Chains A and B, each alone.
Chain A
Amino acid sequence: MMLRAMFVVLSLALAAACGDSRVAAGDAPPQPDAGPPDAGMPDAACFTNPQTYNEIINACTTAVKVFKDSHPALLNPDGTVPPLPGS
Chain B
Amino acid sequence: MRPPRSIDSTSSMRLASLLALTLATVLPAHARAAPCKDLPNPIYLQVGDTQQNLMKRLGRALRDNKRPDGSANPITLVFVLNGSCTNITAIYAKVPLKGNLFYIPSIAEDVAGAPWKPSDAPLTCTVPDGATDPGVEVDIANSALFNSACRDDGPPATVQLTQGPVQAYVLAVPIASSQTAITFEEAYFVFGFGAAGMIAPWIDEAQLWVRKVTKSTLLAWARNLSIPADKFKGQKLEASTDVVNGLNLGNPAAIGILGAEVYDANRTTMKSLAYRAKGQYAAYYPDSSSSARDKQNVRDGHYTVWSPTIWMDRIDATTGAPTKVDARYVVDLIAGKTVTPAPSFSMIDVIAAVGLVPDCAMRVNRAVEGGPLTLYRPTESCTCKYESLAAPTATACAACSATMGCATGVCRNGLCEDH
Rounded to whole Å, the gap between the CB of B208 and the closest CB of chain A is 15
Contact of B372 with A by CB under 8 A: yes
Q: What 0/1 readout, one digit per residue, does chain A (57-73) give for beta carbons within 8 Å of chain B?
A: 11101111111101011
Q: Are B281 and A58 in contact (CB under 8 A)?
A: yes
Contact of A26 with B by CB under 8 A: yes
Q: Are A56 and B281 in contact (CB under 8 A)?
A: no
Q: Are A73 and B198 in contact (CB under 8 A)?
A: yes
Name the contact of B281 in the complex, choosing from A7, A28, A64, A72 (C-beta under 8 A): A7
Q: With A56-B375, A58-B280 as known contacts, state yes or no: A74 contacts B180, CB within 8 Å.
A: no
Q: Are B284 and A70 in contact (CB under 8 A)?
A: no
Contact of B252 with A by CB under 8 A: no
Q: Which residue of A lies closest to B193 (CB)?
A: A85
Residues of chain A in range 22-64 having any CB-CB distance to chain B below 8 Å: 23-24, 26-28, 36, 45-46, 50-51, 53-54, 56-59, 61-64
Contact of A1 with B by CB under 8 A: no
Rounded to whole Å, the gap between the CB of B142 and the closest CB of chain A is 28
Q: Are A59 and B300 in contact (CB under 8 A)?
A: yes
Q: With A53-B372, A56-B364, A81-B189 as known contacts, state yes or no: A66 contacts B283, CB within 8 Å.
A: yes
Q: How far is A24 from B287 in the complex, measured between Cα atoms in Å?
A: 14
Contact of B292 with A by CB under 8 A: yes
Determine the interface band of chain A, counting residues with CB < 8 A from chain B: 35 or more
Q: Are B288 and A74 in contact (CB under 8 A)?
A: no
User: Which chain A residues border B287 with CB–CB below 8 Å?
Assistant: 63
User: Which chain B residues border A85 with CB–CB below 8 Å?
Assistant: 192-193, 196
Contact of B374 with A by CB under 8 A: yes
Q: How far is A77 from B379 in the complex, measured between Cα atoms in Å?
A: 46
Q: How far is A84 from B196 in the complex, measured between Cα atoms in Å?
A: 11
Q: Which of B40-48, B86-94, B95-103, B271-279 contacts A (4 or more CB under 8 A)?
A: B271-279
Count, chain B residues at interface, CB 8 A: 46
Contact of B291 with A by CB under 8 A: yes
Q: How far is A6 from B285 in the complex, measured between Cα atoms in Å?
A: 24
Q: With A68-B183, A85-B193 as known contacts, state yes or no: A63 contacts B364, CB within 8 Å.
A: no
User: Which chain A residues border B250 with CB–CB below 8 Å?
Assistant: none
Q: Are A62 and B180 in contact (CB under 8 A)?
A: no
Q: With A27-B289, A57-B301, A66-B283 as known contacts, state yes or no: A21 contacts B372, CB within 8 Å.
A: no
Q: Are A26 and B288 in contact (CB under 8 A)?
A: yes
User: Which chain B residues border A58 with CB–CB below 8 Å?
Assistant: 279-281
Q: Are A63 and B290 in contact (CB under 8 A)?
A: no
Q: How far is A59 from B297 in the complex, measured between Cα atoms in Å?
A: 11
Rounded to whole Å, the gap between the CB of B222 and the closest CB of chain A is 11
Q: What 0/1 readout, one digit per residue, does chain B (293-315) give for beta carbons within 8 Å of chain A?
A: 00011001110100000000000
Q: How far is A43 from B231 in the complex, measured between Cα atoms in Å?
A: 38
Contact of B186 with A by CB under 8 A: yes
Q: Are A72 and B189 in contact (CB under 8 A)?
A: yes
Q: Are B180 and A66 in contact (CB under 8 A)?
A: yes
Name the contact of B284 in the complex, choosing from A66, A72, A84 (C-beta under 8 A): A66
Rounded to whole Å, the gap between the CB of A20 and the closest CB of chain B is 9
Q: With A26-B289, A62-B288 as known contacts, state yes or no: A57 contacts B373, CB within 8 Å.
A: yes
User: Which chain A residues border B414 with CB–CB below 8 Å?
Assistant: none
Q: Are A27 and B375 in contact (CB under 8 A)?
A: no
Contact of A75 with B by CB under 8 A: yes
User: Which chain A residues border B300 with CB–CB below 8 Å?
Assistant: 56, 59, 61
Name the contact of B198 in the complex, choosing from A27, A36, A74 (C-beta under 8 A): A74
Q: Are B373 and A67 in contact (CB under 8 A)?
A: no
Q: Are B279 and A57 in contact (CB under 8 A)?
A: yes
Q: With A54-B279, A66-B181 as known contacts, state yes or no: A59 contacts B288, CB within 8 Å.
A: no
Q: How far is A62 from B395 in the complex, measured between Cα atoms in Å?
A: 12
Q: How far is A11 from B296 in the complex, measured between Cα atoms in Å?
A: 24
Contact of B282 with A by CB under 8 A: yes
User: Which chain B residues border A66 with CB–CB below 8 Å?
Assistant: 180-181, 274, 276, 282-285
Rounded to whole Å, the gap between the CB of A11 and the closest CB of chain B is 7
Q: Are B197 and A56 in contact (CB under 8 A)?
A: no
Q: How far is A62 from B198 in the complex, measured between Cα atoms in Å?
A: 33
By a beta-carbon cutoff of 8 Å, the part of chain A in contact with chain B is 7, 11, 21, 23-24, 26-28, 36, 45-46, 50-51, 53-54, 56-59, 61-68, 70, 72-75, 81, 84-86
Question: Could you list 14 A-B pairs, sorted by A, with CB under 8 Å?
Answer: A53-B373, A56-B300, A56-B374, A57-B277, A57-B279, A61-B302, A64-B290, A66-B274, A72-B186, A72-B198, A74-B197, A75-B185, A84-B228, A85-B192
**Known interface pairs A27-B289, A62-B288; 4 further A-B residue pairs with C-beta atoms within 8 A, sorted by A's residue number:** A56-B373, A66-B276, A66-B284, A72-B185
